[in-house]
Structure 1
Amino acid sequence: MNRAYLMGWFFAGITAFIWAVYSNVLKIGSLYFTTIHPTVFILQSLIVASLVLLLVSGPGRLSASTLRNTATWVYGTAQIFNNIFVMAAFTFAMTATSVSLLSRMGIAISAVFALIAGVNEIKSKWGFYLICLGMIVVAYGAESTNKPVAIFLIFLACVFQVIQTKVSSQHKESNLASGDLKSELRVTGYVLSITSVTYVVFLLLANYVNLDVLLPKLLPTMDEVLSKESFVLALFTGTFVIATMKYFEFYATKTIGSTNFLVVVAISPLLTIFVEYLVDFMGILSARDVGTYDAIGCVLIILGALLKVIHELKVAKHQKKIAPEVQQDTDIIKDTINNTLTCFAGNMEQVSQTLDISILEIKEILNDERAVTSELRNKILLNHASNIVGLDPLTGLQNQTSFDLKLQKLEDLEKSIVLFIDLNKFKPVNDTYGHKAGDAILKGVAVRLEEIMPFPHTVARLGGDEYGAIIYGEDAKRIKDYVDQIRKSIEQPFVVENIEDEITISASIGSAHYPTDADNGPELKHISDERMYEDKKGRSER
């Protein structure tokens, strides 16, 4: 059982407690401040939480990809519908305790989703049966003006809650951020910011279509939107409750799985009652009476949850040692990761991005704390073959092989510029200042070329002091602009560490345009290479 796995269970428990605190904060706010509207308060809390997380984490990796990821938007949309259907259930006079306990049907829904995906998550059958029995008892004793409709609405709320937890457990950027606290906070912050945006869009649409007619009190009044009390309470809740809770939720779901997470938070109704009695003792809020059926159902659900948690921890503790053939696979993957680390001078972030695995996964594999599944093995080897084998080890640019493969794919494109760049006066640099200085110049040229032709354009070191570039989507008339920029950039003096002199070089450049000059990669390569030598010859004759 590795540390991250245990932390996942612990964070899930903390999340259940924070949920209990959050629900009581909302009740206290509603009791003492009549201008606090639940929808506005939730939205304000989310905005504050996202800002806090983004301020703490600062700018950095995985930001843009998190915003582009469809899963980020799905998570936000699922949260909105989860809240809507819970609010709708309350309109049928169902008690908060019954709604909270019946929401545990999310455990069964999550397990069914997993079975559809081919994964059996019902390992502790008695625990699962007790949870289901508890929900049946609560449903039987629940009082409502229309019990079937209310239960169906809770079922829909649970479906969206499960979608949320499934998305958070498999969110690509969240998983890639594992092991890097700032990146984890940043990803969670951006997810919450998108959730806030979707909330605003939904409220505007709901107001436009008069959804308040179907769901009374869903939309706030202007006084409730501008309520100072709501903003102050949301400022506190977003900073200290929502930000923490959402970080723990993302951490827990990706380490122990969505179903196990929902099992642990099944204890939140009991914790809610505990917190209620605590604030009642403090004279802040009167604790509500719990009905007999709710009490029995709560006990059954919690017993079932405890049985499942104990079973999962026992299974993790008694896992068999890795078989020899599996260990051999693990050793191969460890060698692959170490090779990638060497390529990037030990930079874990670059290795994580290149191999498409989290920093936490890298550390656990290297420390023999994680079994390497066939899926993970294949992903690492494929990404290594695609991104490392085809790289020039000195500059990090693509190498000759990768460049030739890119040239072969030009026929699938509309237009492109192919450039061949050869450095002039480079040999004297090696002769005068040594190979370390020469390597520094080669790296410096690579950086300058990538600044002019950033991704998705291709820049490669073809060997020695030769470079190649493919600029996609450009007309032939743009060749001169690029050639002039490259020439001017390379001719700027280089400053090399421990060398007093500024080093100056130049470049000969040949170009070809697809499809103007040729309609295939090899011919374009030949033309640009010939033109590069013509340029070099012309310069030597001046």
Structure 2
Amino acid sequence: MHSRNLVDWFFAFFNVFVVWSAGSILASYSSQVLQINPVVYVCTMFLSCSLALLLYAGPGKNSLNVLRSSQTWGYGIALIFGFIVSFGLFSQVTPVEGELLQMFTAIVSVVIGWLFYNRVPNKLQVVGLVFILAGVLWVCKNLPLDKVAVVIFLFITLAIFQCLRSFIGENHKQFKYVLKFSKNPIRDQLRVIGYIMFTLSMLFLVIAILFAYIQTATGVRIHQAIPTLSDFLYFKGIFAATLVGVLIIL
């Protein structure tokens, strides 16, 4: 049992300090160096991640019932928009700064839990939140003036989407029901997430390709964030997004 705990701790630290860091560096590299379109990046990442999840989880019937719930689609929309905003954040800051700014979600989550769920944070949590807030303020203080407003908007928006996703998942009745009567709840949970990510990424991909075709055919740029057809043929960026999609499930 003791050796098993050590293995679990090793993989936990490996995921946090190696895999997550690699994902953040790749996201920053993709946005700032490769300059891949954020919609193409997130759709590609979600597709690769969802396929990896579904391959690992295998076939299952009960999980499909969860897809009929409006809460499921709310969760998925919050998830995909959160990743788009996160990609935008990493296009403005370094990977380390981006990771620190993402921690602002913890502050928003505790405040919402306190106001709406009567979850009073303990002293240790308050101390941790103070350190997070100090780190966020320090990053903002050292940003170029022309980036401050954009970065603040991005990490606050990201925190809202992440908290929304978290609280929807926590109160998802159908999802809880499936897991309660599941013989393998972890695989069922991963399968549900895989279905959600695959369905939404395909939906967003179809819409993005439609708008890309309109922009290419008319020669009129609707919005900078909307991709063009050439963005879908940028193989270096697509490879990086695919790699990140596989990394985030580890």
TM-score per shorter chain, which class?
A: 0.7 to 0.9
Q: 2:200 aligns with which of 174, 195, 212?
A: 195
Q: What is aligned with 1:134?
A: 135
Post-superposition shift, 1:118? Answer: 2.6
Contact 1:144 1:150 in 2 (8 A): no
For the pair 1:117 / 2:124, whether they are aligned, the reply is no
Give ranges in structure 1 of 5+ residues lacking alignment: 246-542
SS of 1:42's equivalent in the other structure is helix
Change (3 A) 1:11 1:73: farther
Aligned partner of 1:262 in structure 2 is: none
Q: CA deviation at 1:84?
A: 4.0
Structure-2 separation of matches of 1:167 and 1:19: 24
Q: Distance in 1 between the 2:120 and 2:143 partners?
A: 29
Matches within 5 A, 1:487-526: none
CA contact under 8 A between 2:105 and 2:159: conserved in structure 1?
A: yes
TM-score, with length taken from structure 1: 0.37
| Contact 2:57 2:190 (8 Å CA) reproduced | yes
Distance 1:169 1:13, change over 3 A: farther
User: Which residue number corresponds to residue 106 of structure 2?
Assistant: 107
The question of whether the paired residues in 1 share the 8 Å contact of 2:42 and 2:80 is answered with no
Taking a change above 3 Å as real, the CA distance of residues 120 and 69 of structure 1, as seen in their structure-2 partners, is same
Taking the aligned partners of 1:170 and 1:31, their CA distance within structure 2 comes to 37
How far the C-alpha of 1:46 sits from its partner, in A, is: 1.2
1:69 corresponds in structure 2 to 69
Matched, 1:224 2:231: yes
Counterpart residue type for residue 119 of structure 2 = N
Q: 1:173 to 1:81 in 2, by over 3 A?
A: same
Corresponding residue for 1:20?
21
Q: CA deviation at 1:36?
A: 4.5
1:26 Cα deviation from its structure 2 partner: 3.5
Displacement of 1:94 after TM fit? 4.7
Q: Compared with structure 1, are the counterparts of its residues 65 and 211 closer, same or farther at alpha carbon in structure 2 (3 Å cutoff)?
A: farther
Q: What's the CA shift for 1:50? A: 1.5
Equivalent position of 2:152 in the other structure:
151
Deviation, structure 1 residue 231:
4.3
SS at match of 2:67: helix
Report the CA distance between 1:202 and its aligned residue: 5.8
The 3 A distance-change label for structure 1 pair 183 and 162 is same
The structure-2 alpha-carbon separation of the partners of 1:144 and 1:212, relative to structure 1 and needing over 3 Å to count, comes to farther
1:379-390 alignment runs, 5 A limit: none
Judged with a 3 Å threshold, the aligned counterparts in structure 2 of structure 1 residues 12 and 144 are, in CA distance, closer, same or farther, namely: farther
> Which letter maps to 1:111?
V
1:49 maps to what in 2? Answer: 49
Counterparts in 2 of 1:97 and 1:231: CA distance versus 1, 3 Å: closer
Larger Rg: 1
Q: Say if 1:66 and 1:190, in contact at 8 Å, map to a contact too.
A: no
The answer on 1:182 being equivalent to 2:183 is: no
- Give the match for residue 467 of structure 1: none
Offset at residue 104 of structure 1 (A): 1.6
Q: 1:179 & 1:119 partners in 2: Cα distance?
A: 33
Name the CA distance, whole Å, in 2 between partners of 1:156 and 1:236.
25
Structure 1: distance between partners of 2:210 and 2:105:
28
Structure 1 residues 199 and 103, CA gap change in structure 2 (3 angstroms)? same
- The one-letter amino acid paired with 2:232 is V
Normalised by the length of structure 2, the TM-score is 0.72
Deviations 1:24-56 (A, max 9, x none): 234455688x58444323211211221232233
Q: CA deviation at 1:174?
A: 4.7
SS in 2 for 1:220: coil
> Number of paired residues?
233
Does the CA contact (< 8 Å) of 1:35 and 1:229 recur in 2? no
| Residues 315-342 of structure 1 deviation map (CA, whole Å, 9 limit, x = unaligned) | xxxxxxxxxxxxxxxxxxxxxxxxxxxx
Matched, 1:39 2:45: no
Identity of aligned pairs, percent?
A: 26
Structure 2 CA distance for aligned equivalents of residues 44 and 113 of structure 1: 32
* Equivalent-residue separation in structure 2 for 1:202 and 1:130 (angstroms): 41
Instruction: Give the Cα separation in 2 of the matches to 1:169 and 1:221.
Output: 37
CA contact (8 A) 1:76 1:196 kept: no
Matches within 5 A, 1:523-538: none
C-alpha displacement of 1:106: 0.8
Seen in structure 2, the aligned counterparts of structure 1 residues 75 and 129 have a Cα distance that, compared at 3 Å, is same
- The answer to whether the 8 A contact 2:38-2:87 is kept is no
Kindly report which structure 2 residues correspond to 1:291-370, keeping only aligned pairs within 5 A, or say none. none
